[in-house]
Structure 1
Amino acid sequence: MRIISLSNLYIIICLLFTSMISTTWSQDTYSIQDLANNKGPFIPDYSYAGYHFGEKEIEIPKNITVLEAIDFGVISNDKKDDSRALKKAFKKAHSVEGPVLIQLPKGRIIISEIFYFERSNIILNGYGTGDLGTEIYCPRPLMYLEDPEDLKELREYLVTLGKIQKEKENNISIPFSQYAWSGGMFWTRVPGVRVKSYLQKYNLQPTILGTICSAKRADLIFKTNKNHELKVGDIVEIQWFNKQGENGKLLNELYGNEDLKIGSHHWSYPELPLVRQQVKIEKIKKNIITIKSPLLLNILPEYEVRVIEWKYLEEVGIQNFKITFPFSNYIAHHVEQGYNGIYLTRVFNSWVKNVVIDNADSGVLTEAVANITIQDIVTKGKKKAHYTVQMGGVHNVLVKNLSVYNDSVHPLSFNTFSTKSVYSNCKIFKNPILDQHSGVNHQNLFDNIKVDIHAIGDDTYPLFAGGGAGYWKPSHGSYSTFWNIEVNFLNNTEQKKSIILNGMNDGSNARLIGVWGNRKMTVTYKTDAYVDFGNKKMELIPSLYEYQLDKRMNM
């Protein structure tokens, strides 16, 4: 038997540990301009995120029909429920020709029903979030309202899979709530269109418009085998499938060659697309298709990649008011009662703007949306939330100027199937976490983020975290990017010892450019992460998103 000395054992352990994480900053091999211009390690072009690909300002059309909610019986500040009256205004709005705006009155109105946006070109507008603005008060959570038909499959899924939140130390064994990541008092939807697949038996064959032969990642052009149904101006969905099992080449592309444990959902459901991307068709020449925004991944003969019809609403706006819920005690993760503000599904080129959300379980939830902007949002309250503004199943979504004052499990979070989306110029003032949920989320950007942190006793803090179920691991795919993360430590600022910001050991090919603040820091992340410009104030290019957008617009 070979005997290893304690000193040698210590060296071996250290080597194993450092092989798992990156604990030192790179030596600035590339300039910050090189990195922003993609002249170093690959960084995606995020400039296409947001309303109209970031190219158009949000504004109310001049020819819009205005419906005053007070004309339908909505009376503010009378302490009476306004749901029935506001329903009448919504019904009228869905029958009006052309763009329509529902104007809410100043003061507090009370609602206790879900309000659905089921048409394009509709705006819900208040008088702002200040003392003289509009407040929508929701006294009851969604669990006390009628069960939405849209969540029937989710309800069955939660029961079938026995989804239960178990916390032995807290004596908790409670079934998951259907409102943990779905539903809201204001809800966009295309009637009769399924939003998310949970159970295979409900899968329907989509309208296939073509299959793609070959293309390269970041290209704007691809070649189809069939394009008889494609038209210029169409918004369609490209879907990538893994039908090669555990060793499929698509998994290699998503997660690289690192020795990562990949969850079974990546191959157990070969008819489920692993990657989805909504694109706008700009040009068609025979079987050569030009699209507006770059392809997420390579398209190889070994992959099955198809183009399908994508049903959506557009030009839906929710803006200029406050949503308030009564305080309720936090029970446990995943068992939220449904104090959820806004649920966005199946919308494109739409927005949420200038909204304050108080005491929510989740402020804004998303699923199956693309090219929307959510900006100037404030979440606050004494209640601990699940999400603030969450991104799930999204593509090219921009969350801009979000301020988080409340405690939450996932303050900023990219969830399952989120791609090419951006949190930009956001501030977290309480228990910050930059979360990436397992489920093929990749090529997302945390950009120009400021966080306040109370460092824990051993001089570490878990700023970079990954949630989600094991069957969808790893925590994220390739090229997730962190750019200009400013950390403000509220305690122990005089200590000279470097504080460790704990990252993930199961995310691939991350890019961390510019993590800095009022105390020296070290970032721990997997070895294939590119970590650079640490402990340096990012003055030259504070926002990668804005830099990339400005460059593209001025080309």
Structure 2
Amino acid sequence: MSKIVCFLVWVSVLSVSCSSHSGAQNDQGDKARGIHVDGLPDFSYAGYDFGQGELPEGNGLQVFRVEDFGAIANDANSDFKAIQSAIDAAEANGGIVLFGPGRYLLNEQKGNQQGLIIEADNVILRGAGDGPEGTELFMSWQLEPADPSKMYSTPAMIQFRASSKKQDAGSLAKDVARGQDHLEFVGEPKVKAGDFITISAVGTFLNEQLLEGKKTRPIWSRINERGAAVDEIHQVKAVDGNRVVLHAPVTLAISASDPWEIKKIQLLQKCGVEQLHFIGNFHEGFEHHKNALHDSGFTGIAMVRTFNSWIRHVSFSDVSAAASFSSSLCGTFLHCKVKGNGGHSSFGFHASTRSLMAYCEDQANAWHGPNASHRSVGSVIYKFEGINRGIDLHGDFPRNTLFDQCVMAGFDGDSVGRASHGASFRNLPNHMGGLVLWNFEQTARPRPGFDFWDLYEDKPDELYGPLTAVNPVIVGYKGEGTSFVKESVGKVESWGKHVAPASLFLYQKQQNGMKIPTYLKN
């Protein structure tokens, strides 16, 4: 066993409950007697306001009705310019861009390369609901990639984004312990309360800590040659001399002698999309990486560099990709679903910290399932339900991801074994330490003897293998026909029976004395 076990989890389940997913969540403390979870990553800070606040209703914000700017529902004319004008007006001081019932047309011209852009705090796009009598935002044509040689450069139709500018915040004077909520700088730090920082590093010096004694495949060039990578986004709570206090603790040990960078960054705050139905026009049978249309032509919403922002009660139909948070802090998906024709991906977190996906569904069989990737850390996927596809961990060193009471398929692709769990082989493994499956129910594609660390040494020419994760912890797992190679997991407890507490996420919040938001009690 590696001497550094920052994310290795030791779970001892002494009492087991066969409670269902729909069991009451109000007695987590009582049901938790006999369960020791102290070694688990702390997921309690995930979501809006570091997991403690209610999602805002926008009370006090000015309302900007899209009809007042020229948009007309249910006609044959594009509403793009009118909607962007309403957004521009709301950006001045914050506001709610309000849509009435009916269908609004977002992209009626072939060849466009830009969608709706929001670049200010406190802007909320709100419809009249995502049901039959609600608001529909419809794309007749896909958007085209900004760089034709790069399919992934296609923008989302609705994009929230802050400036990418970064500034040096100073350098560390002392080592930082995992779980510590403050940093000590050399001299006066260049930040103040309320600012946002990234704590980042890239290098082979990270490999030992993040791999926890595991060896890598020779073709995993990024971790072997350049080294692993870490990004954490934090908000500054207070500054006292050279001491910076954070709203939430760091998630791994940091040596001040190693080449860490601390940068001040900009994030949009309190932006949201809610109560509408986003509809693409993707009706082809999906083929992975066939072209830009299939991979990203009809992409719904991208939250890029945001804080305390949300997408709630939004449905997505016939899209290439539904929605994502990138380089964001405390982003929240709530009651969102993908339906219609299955495309490239459903919902994801990329390079984001302490994100939450709660009560979401995939009814369309998207190629990639719910995703935490690209250095994301502290992600919680709570009560997700999906058909056929399983989890997606898209590589480039995500850490500390919790799948809590999810009902979906497995780990290694579709019904005929084609990998759909994500990531270029150069960016593997799929997940570093801290992957926890808690009361997970696998509904399809049983895999006996599944190995989370199969390096395909007997198949050196194969680029891809099963989903790879460093020492995952699996508690209360149900999945007939599936079993795991003992050496590839950190711990397995209560096989075939769900445990109490039903939710690790809610239990940890209660243990930390946090208020559980109303939206998590439904």
Question: What TM-score do you get using the length of structure 1 for normalisation?
Answer: 0.77
Partner of 1:391: 349
Deviation at 1:80, TM superposition (A): 2.2
Partner of 1:293: 248
Deviations 1:276-325 (A, max 9, x none): 11112223333232211121210114422232111111010111000111
Alignment of 1:431-446 (within 5 A): 431-446=388-403
Partner of 2:73: 76
Partner of 1:530: 491
CA distance in 1, matches of 2:85, 2:272: 19
Partner of 2:302: 343
Deviation at 1:219, TM superposition (A): 1.5
Higher deviation after alignment, 524-533 or 332-341: 524-533
Query: Are 1:67 and 1:89, in contact at CA under 8 Å, matched by a contact in 2?
Result: yes
Secondary structure of 2:274's aligned partner = strand
In the alignment, which of 477, 501, 513 is matched to residue 475 of structure 2? 513
Partner of 1:449: 406
Partner of 1:125: 126
**Is the alpha carbon distance of 1:407 and 1:187 closer, same or farther for their aligned partners in structure 2, counting shifts above 3 Å?**
same
Partner of 2:91: 94
Secondary structure of 1:500's aligned partner = coil
**Is the alpha carbon distance of 1:477 and 1:332 closer, same or farther for their aligned partners in structure 2, counting shifts above 3 Å?**
same
Alignment of 1:248-327 (within 5 A): 248=205, 250-261=206-217, 263-266=220-223, 268-269=225-226, 274-327=229-282
Partner of 1:227: 188
Secondary structure of 1:105's aligned partner = coil
Secondary structure of 1:439's aligned partner = coil
Aligned residues: 464
**Is the alpha carbon distance of 1:480 and 1:227 closer, same or farther for their aligned partners in structure 2, counting shifts above 3 Å?**
farther
Query: Are 2:286 and 2:343, in contact at CA under 8 Å, matched by a contact in 1?
Result: no
Q: Give the percent of matched residue pairs that are identical in Structure 1 and Structure 2.
A: 20
**Is the alpha carbon distance of 1:373 and 1:456 closer, same or farther for their aligned partners in structure 2, counting shifts above 3 Å?**
closer
Secondary structure of 1:435's aligned partner = coil
Partner of 1:183: 155
Partner of 1:43: 40
Deviations 1:449-505 (A, max 9, x none): 01268x999xx9979974312222222111111111023469xxxxxxx96273521
Secondary structure of 1:278's aligned partner = strand
Query: Are 1:438 and 1:466, in contact at CA under 8 Å, matched by a contact in 2?
Result: no
Secondary structure of 2:440's aligned partner = strand
CA distance in 2, matches of 1:402, 1:68: 28
Query: Are 2:277 and 2:315, in contact at CA under 8 Å, matched by a contact in 1?
Result: yes
Structure 1: stretches of 5+ with no match in the other structure: 1-25, 160-175, 195-205, 491-497
Secondary structure of 1:178's aligned partner = helix
CA distance in 1, matches of 2:489, 2:362: 31
CA distance in 2, matches of 1:94, 1:451: 39
Deviation at 1:349, TM superposition (A): 0.8
**Is the alpha carbon distance of 1:35 and 1:333 closer, same or farther for their aligned partners in structure 2, counting shifts above 3 Å?**
farther
Deviation at 1:62, TM superposition (A): 2.2
Partner of 2:103: 108
Query: Are 1:508 and 1:528, in contact at CA under 8 Å, matched by a contact in 2?
Result: yes
Deviation at 1:37, TM superposition (A): 5.0
**Is the alpha carbon distance of 1:27 and 1:352 closer, same or farther for their aligned partners in structure 2, counting shifts above 3 Å?**
closer
CA distance in 1, matches of 2:61, 2:260: 40
**Is the alpha carbon distance of 1:133 and 1:501 closer, same or farther for their aligned partners in structure 2, counting shifts above 3 Å?**
farther
CA distance in 1, matches of 2:156, 2:33: 43
Look up the equivalent residue of 1:516 and give its one-letter code. K
CA distance in 1, matches of 2:74, 2:43: 44
Structure having the higher Rg: 1
CA distance in 1, matches of 2:57, 2:13: 47
CA distance in 1, matches of 2:242, 2:372: 35
In the alignment, which of 448, 472, 478 is matched to residue 500 of structure 1? 448
Partner of 2:509: 549
Structure 2: stretches of 5+ with no match in the other structure: 1-9, 17-31, 108-113, 454-467, 516-522
CA distance in 1, matches of 2:321, 2:246: 34
Alignment of 1:98-177 (within 5 A): 99-112=94-107, 114-143=115-144, 148=146, 159=149, 177=151
The structure that is strand-richer by fraction is 1
Higher deviation after alignment, 435-444 or 330-339: 330-339
**Is the alpha carbon distance of 1:27 and 1:412 closer, same or farther for their aligned partners in structure 2, counting shifts above 3 Å?**
closer
CA distance in 2, matches of 1:88, 1:456: 43
Secondary structure of 1:110's aligned partner = strand
In the alignment, which of 340, 365, 372 is matched to residue 407 of structure 1? 365
Higher deviation after alignment, 221-230 or 417-426: 221-230
Partner of 2:179: 218
Secondary structure of 1:394's aligned partner = coil
In the alignment, which of 367, 380, 386 is matched to residue 326 of structure 2? 367
Query: Are 1:541 and 1:547, in contact at CA under 8 Å, matched by a contact in 2?
Result: yes
Query: Are 2:365 and 2:388, in contact at CA under 8 Å, matched by a contact in 1?
Result: yes
Cα RMSD after superposing both structures? 2.9
Secondary structure of 2:389's aligned partner = coil
Query: Are 1:521 and 1:535, in contact at CA under 8 Å, matched by a contact in 2?
Result: no
Query: Are 1:28 and 1:533, in contact at CA under 8 Å, matched by a contact in 2?
Result: no
Look up the equivalent residue of 2:356 and give its one-letter code. L
**Is the alpha carbon distance of 1:423 and 1:208 closer, same or farther for their aligned partners in structure 2, counting shifts above 3 Å?**
same
